[in-house]
């Protein structure tokens, strides 16, 4: 059974101290920037800001670096289909998160031993007009025993809908942006 209150996950693609400081308590931060190679200085600044605020911090698509920097975990995107993550000696506090868009990708994430599946996109957004919608999302969600986090097109106006889906959490980029 999933928690009644949604866990919050915020994606960032750069160091933004104002955004991090304005995040709700217990929000998990995922640094995801596929346009740049990982910048150690930037990642360490984000880690420090998250630690100062008491937030969990995850690095996208680089388990070795996340482990070396003693982050809270790593996020494995849907396009990463590698199955050799089981060979890493992960400590118990280190979490693997992963995204999926369909049943095949859900099964891959399960084989990768991720803890939370970020199923997306739930709603339409500026970036993505093709979305799952509530019924398809819910049917996919029922096909896994992993904790499900919704992603995609989440706004202040549709967030009430999420409470009825028995989700573990919600993730967003724009929902948390400071105006």
User: What is the model's pTM?
Assistant: 0.90
Q: How confident is the model at residue 1 (pLDDT cuts 50, 70, 90)?
A: very low
CA separation, residue 141 to residues 35, 64, 86, 149 (Å)? 30, 29, 24, 9
- Per-residue pLDDT, 146: 95
Domains defined along the chain, listed by start: 7-176 (3.20.20.70)
Q: How confident is the model at residue 149 (pLDDT cuts 50, 70, 90)?
A: very high
> Lowest-pLDDT range, 18-32, 45-59, 117-131?
117-131
**CA proximity to 97, closest of 144, 40, 148:** 148
Q: How confident is the model at residue 133 (pLDDT cuts 50, 70, 90)?
A: confident
Place of tokens 């093709």: 130
**CA proximity to 77, closest of 92, 96, 91, 103:** 96
> Lowest-pLDDT range, 3-7, 131-135, 145-149?
3-7
pLDDT per position as a tens digit, 62-102: 999 999 999 999 999 999 998 876 656 777 889 999 999 99
pLDDT per position as a tens digit, 159-170: 888 877 889 999
Instruction: List the end-to-end C-alpha distance of the chain, in Å, as a whole number.
Output: 35
- Per-residue pLDDT, 4: 58
């Amino acid at each position: 059974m999933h928690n009644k209150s949604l866990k919050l996950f915020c994606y960032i693609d750069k160091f933004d101290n104002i955004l991090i400081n304005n995040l709700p308590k217990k929000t998990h931060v995922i640094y995801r920037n596929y346009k740049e190679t990982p910048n150690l200085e930037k990642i360490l600044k984000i880690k420090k800001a998250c630690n100062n605020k008491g937030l969990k911090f995850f690095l996208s698509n680089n388990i070795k670096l996340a482990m070396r920097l003693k982050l809270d975990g790593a996020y494995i995107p849907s396009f990463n289909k590698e199955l050799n993550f089981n060979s890493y000696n992960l400590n118990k506090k280190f979490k693997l998160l992963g995204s999926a868009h369909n049943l095949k990708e859900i099964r891959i994430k399960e084989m990768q031993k991720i803890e939370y599946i970020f199923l997306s996109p739930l709603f339409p957004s500026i970036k993505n007009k093709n979305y799952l919608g509530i019924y398809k999302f819910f049917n996919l969600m029922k096909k896994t025993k992993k904790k499900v986090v919704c992603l995609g097109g989440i706004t202040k106006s549709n967030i009430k809908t999420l409470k009825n889906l028995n989700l573990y959490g919600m993730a967003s980029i724009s929902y948390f942006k400071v105006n």
